[in-house]
Structure 1
Amino acid sequence: KSPLQSNPDGFYGHAIVDLMKRGSKLIVIDPRLTWLASRAEFHLQLRPGTDAAIGLAMLNVVLGEDLYDHDFCEKWVFGVDDLAERVQDKTPEWAENITWVPADVIRSAARAFATNAPSSIMWGLAIDTQQNGAQAGQALLALAAICGYMDVPGGITLSLPSSFMGRWRFETAQFVEPETMAKRIDAKEDHPAYACGPFAHPDEVLTVMETEEPYAFHMAYFYATNPIAPTVYAEPERWYNALMKMDFNAAQDCFMTPTIMGLCDLVLPVSGFAEHDGVVLPHFGRNTHFLGAMNAALDPGEARSDLEIDMLVGKRLNPEAWPWESAEEFFNAQIRTQYDWDFNNLRDMGVFQQNFEYRKYEKGLLRPDGEPGFNTPTGMIEVCSSIYDDFGEDELPYFMEPAMSPNSTPDLYEEYPLVLTTGGRDFVSFHSEHRQMPTLRSITPDPLVTINPKTAAAHGIKAGDYVCIENPLGKCVERARLSNEVPERVIHATHGWWYPEEDGEYPNLFGTWKSNVNKLVPMYKVGKLGYGAPYKNVLAKIYKVDGYEAGSSDPAAYEPPASRGPESMTVGASSEMSYEAKHCAK
């Protein structure tokens, strides 16, 4: 996580600096030596994709040295004994061999976390975008739970069940006929937990588009996304070819993106934030801790907000689902599900800071039935899940090697001896947004791959050189940035790059295929539950080239490697623990 640059989901990174000024100490787990990591008490500079091993080792220390909150665990935590058994042999020395973090650093960080109450944990897409992400998250939350840091001041806060964040999105599912919902591409067999939501699994969507089984898709609608740029999808050339098969593609956006230029028959112009009314609704951890009003200050002309476009389309397709006549009416309806005031009141307030109540589990505020406890089948925080077994998943956290790594694919590692991680945020861009803004582009004019100076010297690379990053899936070119920020065995490539100054027509598409790091990321390498993806940890090699053209490719000529599909998703060893082994009793 890099909160100073990303300000994720309503958590503004400068708050970390404010806390540091008031005496808070940091433990930073990051492959890069970031600004925050350089000022942390402990920097766990791990091999990308091994966060779950760090979590298990820290649990080993806290449980093994009896540093956890016995009273809280006795009353509110389910599965502590089973968790202790799971991590008994997951020592910091075990983790050091996997993560490259010295055992004494892991041990000291775990002790500091457990003995300085309350402590808190925050993570971002660095956890979500790795194959073992669900287990890493489970391990880290278990660490906070056994220390008693849940829903207390300074700990990890929990939202009320009545929070309206996302409620309307799920309520709309009631308008989909059961027989239609049954045709959803849910990937139930391969990704059972993901199938519980009203969404299609993106990996399976690609498979269906390519094979047209069990049916063919005929249209795609792009909403606030630029998928063929290195932002969203792994193996973007496959997505491009699959989407080209559609009869009709449409998009709504503020700018003409590579996706629009390459795929779309229709684009609907979206107004900017200063051109329409709206509600700023942060959802870090689904906690809507404040609401902010966006008041239109400029005339957008023919452009409309995303919501206004949704209404225009929705009323034609299903008027019953869209009873509102304006954006203001929609916001009024949503706000009134929780408050006795409306959008106009929010305009007057500017920002509404919600009240917060701690230890809601003691007062029956977290469960729909009003009983004390947590909203789980056991009524407790489950460090040993009571439902994972239903999905064929291990109920306890475990470490699984990434599908492409020094340990799981040693032969590949010989040819591609660097661990490539991606996705670090930048102060002047958000994914692929803002590349077309001259003032912002002037601050960061080029895509940068960060290389340790010793690694660069071994490859004859100097600062500013064009560097080709390559693995069996593809190649891309970025400019060399030499820094001790990354260790010698790791490189970090920026993502989201395209070149708005270049020709936007096919086949160039604003140069989107030249520095597209997602071409090196495999599809289908997700976790057993259906979550996670290997954007943070693949293998690669680097070499000097003459310019960006060396990374260019023609998507029409793309031929994916032979091994494809969900059957390949289980590549990688799950430590000594199989998925089926050592299930704890419910």
Structure 2
Amino acid sequence: MEQVTLTIDGQAVTVAAGTTVLAAARSLGIHVPTLCHDPDLTSEGSCRLCVVHVAGARTLMPACVTAVMPGMVVQTAAPEVVEARRTIIELLLANHPNDCLTCERAGTCALQEAAYAYGVRFPEAGSPLAGEKHQWPPDESNPMLLRDMNKCILCGKCVRACAEWQQRHVLDFGFRGFATKIVADMDQDLIGSSCVYCGACLTVCPTGALLDRRSIGRGRPWEREHVRTTCGYCGTGCQFDLAVAPGQQGKRQVVEVVPTAEAPVNGRSLCVKGRFGTGFIHHRDRLRQPLIKKDGQWVAASWSEAIALIADRWQAIKADYGSDAFGVLASARATNEDNYVIHRLARSVFGTNNIDHCARLCHASSVTGLVASLGSGAMTNPIADLAVTDFFLVIGSNTTESHPVLALAMQKALKRGAQAAVIDPRRIELAGQAQWHLQLRPGTDLALLNAMAQVIIAEGKVNADFVAKRTENYEAVAEAVKDCTPEWAEAITGVPAAIIREVALAYATAPAGAIYYTMGVTQKTTGTHNVMAIANLALLTGQIGRPGTGVNPLRGQNNVQGACDMGALPNVYPGYQPVTDEAVRRKMAQAWHVPPESLSLQTGLTLGEMLDAVDAGTIKTLLIMGENPVVSDPDSDHVVQTLQKADFVVAIDLFMNETTELAHVVLPACSFAEKTGTFTNTERRVQMVRQAIEPIGEARPDWQIITELAAAMGQPFGYTDVAQIMKEIAEVTPSYGGISHERLAVTPQGLCWPCPAPDHPGTPRLHEQAFTRGLGRFHGVSYLPPAEQPDDDYPLILSTGRRLFHYHTGTMTRRDPGLAALYSEEHLEMHPDDAQALGIGDGDWVQVTSRRGSMELALRITDAIVPGTVFTSFHFAEALVNRLTNPARDTLAQIPELKVCAVAVQKIAAPEGYQRPVHKRVLV
């Protein structure tokens, strides 16, 4: 790269050609003030505060947009430079409100800092610089952001952040002259605009024009401590700082989330939940002490009383019915350390392998299918690889709503020129940006995937060298798909054959092609076969093991990957070591100081099978940590009836919810802000979670609760802190062998497993030289229709998914006042043709009924959905969609078919006094 040498303030410096004068000066430690510049945004040079003197130039030059030249001589503090900066600041203050003493940004305002540095005061009354002040009313229309355009200095950073970071283009300059201001969507209030409240504008605003409304009046910026941690929502793994300040009784409270450029996955980008969705932490509904149900009523208890009661009941159950009378549900919301300790409790204290968690409802088929095909059931490539992807296929994933920050990488790839195809029954936001949208009928994914494989083989686009050297069983897939032509698939899926052919060839011939998918693929009775069909495509084309390629299941919850890694599954110990392997059993027994024969060699029951066993009376007691199966599992009414049959249910959670209400003892847990540990994100990146505040009430970290229960059962684990637990995890888990809290403390980017040794750098990309299983294996899988088909009584297909503003069963997001206000109730999406045939109008109240139950909610008519289908989310207990869904399971992974069930819809009277929300944030 060409190098350029220049002189700045008498110091010679050599930098790469194209470097700005501002960057060159800062490399020397020379401060040049800026207002409109941000290192992560394009530079416009509009504020002119960074002007410098360049020898030979006729005017002062803005350093942020002036490229270095050989031999350039620059002065950053010449008298004319200082005078120009003073004048610029004076002009800005001329129209700026003089309220610095009470402004929330005092002490962190860039304009205030510049005025102090250059000794500029607000102009006196009568001064020629005492300009007119704007009197615009602040925009307080939304619960997240306060916009006061009177304090805006028109630097444009918010406009660029919205466009460049978030790909949104909500903000722009409006009007002219003195009336110029930043407007949202043609000068609407923010609540009525297309804003998704990512907070990017707030991150870059240099003044008090934009404020986090929830942090106003909650301590001055310099009074707050910042604690780096990892987000507790989706599996993307965003990091940020929790800003904490003294609250009531001197206890610290989370007052704001502050993005950080050092975050390895997201940088300074966040979604609405990560940036603003912390209201649940201090919510009045938080469980603050143990509760015991006595005579049908909840009674507060001490920890010692609750622990003693639980231990007594469990010991009696074990004595009377044996180890397999126990069932344990671990949690994808809890840390790796929490999940490791609860899996140890199940196996070494209870003596059972009956342990599972919500991965059974989302990616169990990914684990099963990808292990069989590739040897590892995890995402193969890092998110950052999207920067070099040429083509990506998104199937069964509403990425912009379920993984908003990860979706930004996809949108930036599209802007860069990459091609994309979206396979989804709904015209989701990403479908409107991709080159192809394959709007298939729900439940027909496997037909389409097999047709793509048929095209690749028939058109001679198989990567023959890759198949010969790195795969086996090719003949099986060739035989299975030989008759699966695009025309055959069109009749099943509704997707035109020509588009299937185009997309298959685009993927096969791309220099670097990748596949991303989520529960739209996995939550099917053919979920495992769907995943195998995806792996087949990657193996046929060699689109795996290289940058920008791969098979990438996107994990839905913050630590669903880690919970799987930690052995919260019925068939494996941590690191996916089989419970049926005698050598593994002996290793675990030695680590836990128990006789090997006390650890069962029998594969345990999955989540659904455990509920079946409770129903049958063979499982007597359940321990449920951070799960809400009444809302998240299919056929919810049956789940309720089943839990009511259990002899003894213990729940550990943040709040009372639909499941904890059915328990006998409830123990209060800590949120992610109140404990230390690790999460493993969707790309296998292990990152630190750090305690920022004291536990709420008497809440305790999950690992500590489990440890106390084990001790009460006569088997003390001896853990005194979470670092000790991670040390044990590393000792017994080969893929985590090089991971420790001490190492993560000095490795801010985290570590991607497999990381087998303390000096190993981690493995961001899997299968580069060989597959985990040796050779990649093809599987010949045939299309089967969904387990339940529409008929005259139930003529429509119901599918479910997520919304941007809520998360899982809503226990956290629906207790955040801002998120709850932005998306206050759920609705049912229906195509106009179906609504017309049923005589239903937009906003009408409807009853949706399946063979298992019914629910009631408002209707939204949209042509973004395939005719013959309806859609809603699973976040709202009062619109409990899982009352309707089908519990039929994939025979290989035991995942239920949550994404397809037959329903009938009819218009009913709306509840008395019902008023439709004015602002309903919908991205499709």
TM over 0.5: yes
The aligned residue for residue 187 of structure 1 is none
1:541 equivalent to 2:904? Answer: yes
Question: C-alpha deviations, 1:302-353, integer Å up to 9, x for none?
Answer: 2122222222223333636x34221232134435765667314423544425
Residue of structure 2 equivalent to 1:403: 787
Match of 2:807 among 426, 429, 438: 429
Partner letter of residue 859 of structure 2? A
- 1:108-507 equivalences under 5 Å are 108-156=502-550, 166-169=564-567, 170-171=572-573, 174=585, 181=600, 198-212=603-617, 216-229=618-631, 231=632, 233-261=633-661, 263-282=662-681, 284=682, 287-288=683-684, 290-300=685-695, 301-317=697-713, 319=715, 322-334=717-729, 338=736, 342-352=740-750, 354=752, 355=761, 363=769, 373-376=770-773, 379-384=774-779, 396-406=780-790, 413-433=791-811, 434-498=813-877
The superposition leaves residues 516-566 of structure 1 with CA deviations (integer Å, 9 ceiling, x where unpaired) of 21121232x2233243322111111111112469xxxxxxxxxxxxxxxxx
2:476 and 2:566 map into 1 onto residues whose CA distance is 38
Matched pairs, number: 475
Q: Deviations over 1:366-398 (max 9, x none)?
A: xxxxxxx4343xx311113xxxxxxxxxxx111
SS of 2:792's equivalent? helix
AA of the residue aligned to 1:201: T
Match for 1:44 among 438, 445, 469? 438
Residue 418 of structure 1 contacts residue 541 of structure 1 at CA under 8 Å; is this kept in 2? yes
TM-score (structure 1 length as normaliser): 0.75
Aligned-partner Cα distance in 1 for 2:852–2:562: 42
**One-letter code of the match for 2:815?**
Q
Alpha-carbon separation, structure 1, partners of 2:460 and 2:638: 51
CA deviation digits over 1:229-248, x for unaligned, max 9?
2x1x2112222112112222
Counterpart AA for 1:516: L
Whether the 8 Å contact between 1:331 and 1:343 is mirrored in structure 2 is yes
Residue aligned with 1:13, SS: helix
Q: CA deviation at 1:51?
A: 0.7
Give the corresponding residue for 1:504: none
Structure that is richer in strand per residue: 2
The 3-state SS of whatever aligns with 1:200 is coil
Q: Deviations over 1:265-310 (max 9, x none)?
A: 211111121111121211x3xx42x332222111114212222222
Alignment correspondent of 2:890? 527
In structure 2, the CA distance between the partners of 1:349 and 1:375, relative to structure 1 (3 Å rule), is closer
Q: Give how far 1:205 is off.
A: 2.6
Whose relative contact order is higher, 1 or 2, with alpha carbons under 8 Å and at least 6 apart?
Answer: 1
Query: CA 1:530/1:275 → structure 2, altered by over 3 Å: closer, same or farther?
Result: closer
Asked if structure 2 preserves the Cα contact closer than 8 Å seen for 1:293 and 1:351, the reply is no
* SS of aligned partner of 1:421: strand
Contact 1:421–1:538 under 8 Å retained in 2 = yes
Read off the aligned partner of 1:65 and give its amino acid letter: E
State how far apart, in whole Å, the 2-side matches of 1:447 and 1:165 are.
30
Q: Secondary structure at the match of 2:528?
A: helix
Point out the more displaced range, 514-523 or 35-44: 514-523
The corresponding residue for 1:573 is: none
- The answer as to whether partners of 2:446 and 2:782 remain within 8 angstroms in 1 is yes
Q: Is 1:7 aligned to residue 403 of structure 2?
A: yes
Letter in 1 for 2:902: L
- Match status 1:61 vs 2:455: yes
Identity of aligned residues (%): 27
Contact 1:153/1:358, CA 8 A, preserved across alignment: no
Q: 1:308 to 1:350 in 2, by over 3 A?
A: farther
Bigger mean CA deviation after superposition, 432-441 or 480-489: 432-441
CA distance 1:227–1:547, shift in 2 (3 Å): farther
Q: Which amino acid aligns with 2:638?
A: R
Contact 2:528 2:893 in 1 (8 A): no
Q: Distance in 1 between matches of 2:840 and 2:486?
A: 35
Q: Secondary structure at the match of 1:533?
A: coil
Q: Is the 8 A contact 2:566 2:573 kept in 1?
A: yes
Alignment of 1:5-44 (within 5 A): 5-7=401-403, 12-44=406-438
Q: Distance in 1 between matches of 2:820 and 2:832?
A: 26
Per-residue deviation, 1:130: 0.8
Q: Which amino acid aligns with 1:129?
A: Q
* Superimposed CA distance per residue, residues 113-142 of structure 1 (whole angstroms, 9 cap, x where no aligned partner): 111121011111112211111111111110
- 1:529 and 1:85 map into 2 onto residues whose CA distance is 22
Q: 1:166 & 1:270 partners in 2: Cα distance? A: 21
Aligned residue in 1 for 2:497: 103
Question: Highest Rg: 1 or 2?
Answer: 2
Cα 1:59–1:208 shift into 2, 3 Å: same
Q: Normalised by the size of structure 2, how large is the TM-score?
A: 0.49
Q: CA deviation at 1:43?
A: 0.8
Aligned mates of 1:255, 1:87 — CA distance in 2: 49
Per-residue CA deviations over 1:196-235 (Å, capped at 9, x if unaligned) read xx431333333322232xxx32211211111112x1x211
Describe the shift of the 1:199–1:128 C-alpha distance in structure 2 as closer, same or farther (beyond 3 A). Answer: farther
CA contact (8 A) 1:450 1:480 kept: yes
> Which amino acid in structure 2 is aligned with residue 256 of structure 1?
M
Which letter does structure 1 place at the counterpart of 2:419? K
Deviates more, 1:344-353 or 1:51-60: 344-353
Stretches of 4+ aligned residues off by more than 6 angstroms: none
Q: Is the 8 A contact 1:151 1:158 kept in 2?
A: no
For structure 1, list consecutive stretches of 5 or more residues without a partner in the other structure: 185-197, 364-372, 385-395, 407-412, 499-513, 550-586
Measured in 1, the distance between the counterparts of 2:610 and 2:766 equals 40
**Given residue 311 of structure 1, which amino acid in structure 2 is its aligned partner?**
T
